[in-house]
Amino acid sequence: MTAQLIDGKALAAQVRAEVAARAAALTAAGRQPALAVILVGDNAASQVYVRNKVAACAHAGIRSIHETCAADLREGELLARIHALNQDPAVHGILVQLPLPPHIDAQRVIEAISPLKDVDGFHVASAGALMVGREGFRPCTPLGCMRMLDHIGMRDLRGRHAVVVGRSNIVGKPLALMLLAANATVTIAHSGTADLAATCREADVLVAAVGRPRLITGAMVKPGAVVLDVGINRLEDGRLCGDVDFETAARVAGWITPVPGGVGPMTIAMLLANTVQACARA
């Protein structure tokens, strides 16, 4: 391997330590940061994600309110609970774990969360603030990616070309806007982009967030590029892998994130950071 590894676990630990210090200061001043996490149904992966978030809150000194609801919970009941949490001054962040059961409109639920407590950064008001460069909460995974770039000395991307493979509203588009704000030239691509390999080879910063195991190979990476792998896929043998073929890409890239242990830990770390920020702004 020639690429230098961006250790997401180590960086996330640093972010969590910063968050814990801020949370302790706020708590000492009489305002303990608090995050409400709502899980609807019994999706096994969601249960793991929620447990990890609740545990991370405890380690950072953030109070968590963990609510588990039956899969047949009516949408109106969920909206009413969100409304109550919006009105509670002791709750600073609200997160409804996705996916939701099919009878519940996920976008309606997201829009029900107060933008002041939208620590996931999914509300349309948060998206609008990002679009025009105003203060607001940024989605946690893109925010973690930007923190990783800052960590390796790439805060200002002036003169750099970034390619984001994956155009979702959760990762692709918000990250593209953040990269633009850092002065990069940005291209958004996807798995069906004509000559995707040629597009990727133009990237000084290449982000894979498309949900296709090992789609990005070393032959698609510009020598010396920074490769951020947002994907997490489970193979038939149970192993996890990203959207990047790590073995071949690492021979070409300058910096690269592993899966697991790369972008994933940063996502939860930035959720904690957003929650503390929400408390500080309250």
Residues that are catalytic: 53, 97, 120
Are the C-beta atoms of residues 212 and 245 closer than 8 Å to each other?
no
What's the CA gap between 96 and 10, in Å, rounded?
A: 27
Contacts for 239 with CB less than 8 Å, ≥ 6 apart: none
What's the CA gap between 223 and 3, in Å, rounded?
A: 10
What's the CA gap between 175 and 153, in Å, rounded?
A: 18
What's the CA gap between 183 and 171, in Å, rounded?
A: 18
| C-alpha dihedral (36, 40, 45, 48), degrees to nearest 10 | 40
What's the CA gap between 257 and 242, in Å, rounded?
A: 10
Q: Which amino acid is it at 193? A: T
Nearest to 266, CA basis, from 175, 205, 196 = 175
Provide the CA 80 distance to its chain's centre, in angstroms: 27
